[in-house]
Structure 1
């Protein structure tokens, strides 16, 4: 089992969710809808100076789903090259 975290600009959240639900049938996930921070060269703070924000999606999947998720995120990143879409994963064990 793997824990997958996707961190991205809020503006592409719907695109990511729709693509994952279409290409990874039955995917279960949790989103943190409003996330502040800094990545790369800019801040995402939801303020007048730094108005953009991020979101985080967390899902736990089996190995066969992991590759499909990687492909989906790669495709979305190609479509939205300047949005700072990141995906991280690590092995996970359920207690």
Structure 2
């Protein structure tokens, strides 16, 4: 039963750690953004470099969790639940980030 709870392979552990790293980075980027200040209406994503950097790092952590999780499941036969959850959440993070880049607003 324990083999389903904790990842046993290195890519599985990397996947679980990367998805856990995503959440504080994302929350921190949103917290910094909440601080009231005057933002011009024609501002872009990169006008706030700290928020942009944190969001890019969060997206990279989510994508890394998905990639290493898929590698752990396919190549290393990892079957731990946190790895499957990291792949699922990482897929949504990747698709959302790719959609933001591809889709014109």
By percentage of residues, which structure has more helix? Answer: 2
Higher strand fraction (1 or 2):
1
Q: Which has the larger radius of gyration?
A: 2
TM superposition score normalised by structure 2? 0.30
Q: TM-score, normalised by structure 1?
A: 0.32
